[in-house]
Amino acid sequence: MYDLLKGLRVVEGSAFVAAPTCGLYLAQMGAEVIRFDNIGGGPDFRRWPLAENGSSLYWEGLNKGKKSIAIDLSSPEGREIAQRLAAAPGDDGGLFVTNFPVDGFLSYEKLRALRDDLICVRVMGWADGSQGMDYTINSALGLPLMTGPVGDERPVNHVLAAWDLLTGAYCAFALVSALLARTRGQGGREIRAPLSDIGAATMANLGFTAETWLSGHQRPRMGNDVFGAFGRDFTTRDGQKLMLLAITPKQWSKALEALGIGAEAAALEAELGVSFARDEGLRFAHRERLYPLFERAFAAKTAAELTPAFDAGGVTWGSYQTLEAALDDPRLFKDNPVFQAVTHPSGLTYPAPGAMGTIPQDERRPVAPAPKLGQHTDEVLAEVLGLDGGEIARLHDRGVVAGA
């Protein structure tokens, strides 16, 4: 946790991954992020993975450092409270992150009527308002038909919700950009961020779409081969699988040196009349000739013999390991200062990350856990909306709001 955004108040009305991720990143940079949910929890309050006591580890992960208010969003009075929170006054307020529909009680027009300079970042599925989620957007982009073993026609979904995560990060950037514009006198605005547009634009930014437009067909499946360069998994004598990557000339030369196959690679270059050192594309184009050289070199030694040589030689490589093994990796989890042991709302204590970026000039503050549902209801109603104790009590009595 850092305090670069200290003083900002962001209200979040969201579910799933993208919008909560946006709020998480803002909270970890110091913003006060107030999340409102239905009494009893929204659609992701019990989402898997679950702890043995039924608590959602998903919820605890995406809502660290936020405040929680529980409201009956089906009631007119509850919806009015949500609107007032989103549009609450203050130079550092009026910042709203949501994935609620464009129309309805949280539409930009309704909120702007309460606060003219409101900034709203709205996560959407499809840009036309149609429902869409990460996996359905991903399937439409063609990627599951490019992923997987050669010759297998079945679609392969990626385990990681990439479009959700990219959208969440983009929304955090967009909100801060809009806030900067507002401080310069340009007023408020709504920024709509559909997963479909994030996905389509990213595919174009990476050259996928231009390649397909110009060639007339999408990229074929190629298993674990790295497209346009030299990279793949190889198996050692003791059956360990290692990932080797050689994109730059230095990476290529170091790999040949460590594996002792420089002479064989040079002979192949002479035969083909090419220079693999100069052109990574040529390594990719002739990978079927190069792979046997590497396969034999890997198969001749154990992982324990190869990996020290790789490290000493500056080879770019990685081992395939389970997440259980990764948890003991000091570079990832075990000794990583990004992680701290935290007691979560489930009552369980386990490591959780703070801000992913490290600022050497600033002190890294303790990781804050996710709130209990409704933990800050009374505090938010009093401090943000200025309600007194009697008004808050009456809201509780009528079931409009709830505490933890």
| Distance separating alpha carbons of residues 214 and 212, to the nearest angstrom | 5
> Are 230 and 287 in contact, with CB atoms under 8 Å apart?
yes
Contacts of 130 (CB under 8 A, 6+ apart): none
Q: Angle, nearest 10°, between helix axes 287-299 and 262-272?
A: 160
DSSP 199-236: HHHHHHHTTHHHHHHHHSSPPPP-TTPPTTSEEEEEE-
Backbone angles phi, psi at 115, to 5 degrees: -150, 115
Give the count of beta carbons closer than 10 Å to the beta carbon of residue 101: 14
Which residues are part of the catalytic machinery? 164
> Are 193 and 124 in contact, with CB atoms under 8 Å apart?
yes
HSE toward the beta carbon, residue 77, CA cutoff 13 A: 10
| Distance separating alpha carbons of residues 12 and 95, to the nearest angstrom | 9
Q: Burial level of 370, CB count in 10 A (0-12/13-18/19+)?
A: buried
Backbone angles phi, psi at 240, to 5 degrees: -80, 140
> Are 21 and 62 in contact, with CB atoms under 8 Å apart?
yes
User: Comparing C-alpha atoms, which of 286, 282, 280 is closest to residue 247?
Assistant: 280
Which residue's structure tokens are 């190069």? 290
Q: Kindly state the tokens that stand for 329.
A: 């990796």
